Amino acid sequence: MDSIKAFYNKNKDKKVIRFIDNFIHRVIDHQILPKGGQLAYFIVLSIFPFIIALLNILNFTPLADTKIISDSIQYLPKATQNIVLSFLGEISVSSSAKLLSLSLLGGLWSASSGIRQTIKAINSAFRSKETRSFITLSILALTFTVALIILIILLLLTQVFGSKILYLLATTFHISPEIIELLRKLNIFIPLVYTVFTFASLYRFSPNVPKKELKWKFTLPGALFATFGIIISSRIFTFYVNNFGKYSVTYGSLTGVILLFLWLYLMSIIILIGGEINGIIYQMSGGDGADVETESFFDGIFSK
């Protein structure tokens, strides 16, 4: 312990150490883990209205095919996949033009409740006081809900239909193999860039701070963390559940629901941490006028 204390006292003025110190303090002080559970709860309540709105859009396109949808959720645990596919099957059977218009509006509004909670959590990460009206927050939440739907459709078009579209372009317009290979790489690059941009926008417009001060450079690190964190952690979580987890022994028929909640809880924590990362960078730059050194985890330990 003495060696750690000596190392900290010697290097605590370095930006990296200050960042780590402030990050640990914020995770504990801002109660990221409990807030992740709260956010996951609201997302659970809004995810099925969101799926209804999404499916009723996709149901009038070739993208609503069951195999296509099952391929797009292959990285979820199998028990969770079964719940989603069962729900999608029931909705697709009863879908109609009238249901489309009604469920689209109701689904978007209900689904945006989860986004509203995310906005509030990110706002607190920047330690800004919320003064915006309910209408403003609702419009902001609806905007990002639509952005999420666009992301899912974009992923379906590039990851599921990408090869078919490229083959059609190659045979119709006689495009060279080099161009086709470039477009194949863009199939991965474009959704990734869009995801990073969506998270960066979420982190930039959620806090109630002047946008002239909160520049894109303060939101990009958290957006990159959230994007790659969700991708990597989802695959690790799915691999663990499918190969090592014995949740069915404990939860029985509720396994799919429990795993869905655990996955959303993990995703919520990653999104909140992304907001905290941006908040720390913004604070260390002097953007909020606060002294980052006043928020220290190790000072509290080593001063005892």
* Residue 24 tokens, joined: 């640990």
Residue found by looking up tokens 């404990």 in the block: 250
Element (H, E) at 90: helix 78-94
Per-residue 3-state assignment (H helix, E strand, C coil) for 91-133? HHHHCCHHHHHHHHHHHHHHHHHHHHHHHHHHHHHCCCCCCCC
pLDDT at residue 18, rounded to an integer = 83
The stretch 9-33 carries a mean pLDDT of: 82
Task: Please give the distance of CA 78 from its chain centroid, rounded to a whole number.
Answer: 21
- 193 three-state secondary structure: helix
Residue 44 has pLDDT above 60, yes or no: yes
Q: What is the pLDDT of residues 89-115, one digit of tens each?
A: 665 555 555 555 666 666 677 778 888
Half-sphere exposure of 165 (CA within 13 A, CB side): 12
Query: What integer best gives the mean pLDDT of the chain?
Result: 75
Q: What is the pLDDT of residues 218-251, one digit of tens each?
A: 899 999 999 999 888 888 877 777 676 666 666 6
Among 91-100, 252-261, 276-285, whose mean pLDDT is lowest?
Answer: 91-100
Contact 278, 217 (CB under 8 A): no
Q: What is the pLDDT of residues 134-182, one digit of tens each?
A: 889 888 988 888 888 777 667 666 655 556 666 666 677 677 777 767 7
Residue found by looking up tokens 């959590």 in the block: 121
Distance CA 284, CA 300 (A): 19
Backbone region of residue 17 per phi and psi (left: phi > 0; alpha: psi in -120 to 50; beta: other values):
alpha
